[in-house]
Amino acid sequence: MTAIQRSEPLVKQVYRYLYSAILSGEFKPNDKVVETHIAEKLKVSRSPVREAIRLLIQRELLVEDADGVRVFQPTHRDFAELYEMRLALEPVCAERAAANPDTALLSELRENIQHTEEAVARRDWDAVVTLNKEFHECIWRMCGNRRILRAMHEITDLVQFYWRALLSIPNLDVGIVGDHREIMDAIERGDAAAAHVAMERHVAKDLRVIMSDRSNGADDAFSQTYSVLRQE
């Protein structure tokens, strides 16, 4: 983490550090997060650390139990519930975006796809995760439904958490560039039905990778690489 800047609210800086550490894998799932240790490391008082931890518990990236605060450790059920929500909402977002495409946001999508293609080519998975988030957020904004936008923002951190794990699976071809281009093309030509189907297929692909039968090895690869999934 860069040095704490006293000109910026400490809570915001501590939150950003912890958020980045969780999503980058510096803090592994089920790792304990000790308030005093974080305060000592960042050379700040415990108060902003406590508040940042509280905010991350609200975002479900940290959990608190009788043993203290830990990094969220997802299960297959967690993943399935999250993606059930995505499958219910994101195809609708794409459909509504295609019904009323926004020129400025379409330009953002084109630029995003170009940057994503470049990031995939250089295997910069941190950039891919960020760009994936930005692509989907752009479509959420384009759909024009504030309540859907709010609901999707509530789960975006967990989506990033899973997506970083997905990208850790060896030799996994997520096909993100092709999928995103298909979605954008459907929106651009105003084909609401095609946009709905393309987004549904795109989101369902992640779900199939994780929830597929263990015999194909993908689920085991995910579990071994990220060491987080457990059957309930």
Residue 80: per-residue pLDDT: 80
Q: List pLDDT tens digits, range 19-72.
A: 988 887 788 888 999 999 999 999 999 999 999 999 999 988 999 998 999 998
Q: List pLDDT tens digits, range 217-231.
A: 444 434 443 343 333
Separation of alpha carbons 27 and 6, rounded Å: 25
Structure token digits, residue 164 = 């970083």
**pTM attached to this predicted model:** 0.75
DSSP per-residue codes, 152-186? HHHHHHHHHHHHHHHTTSTT----HHHHHHHHHHH
Measuring CA to CA, which residue among 218, 209, 169 is closest to residue 79?
Answer: 209
What the chain holds in terms of domains, given with CATH numbers, is: 10-71 (1.10.10.10), 76-226 (1.20.120.530)
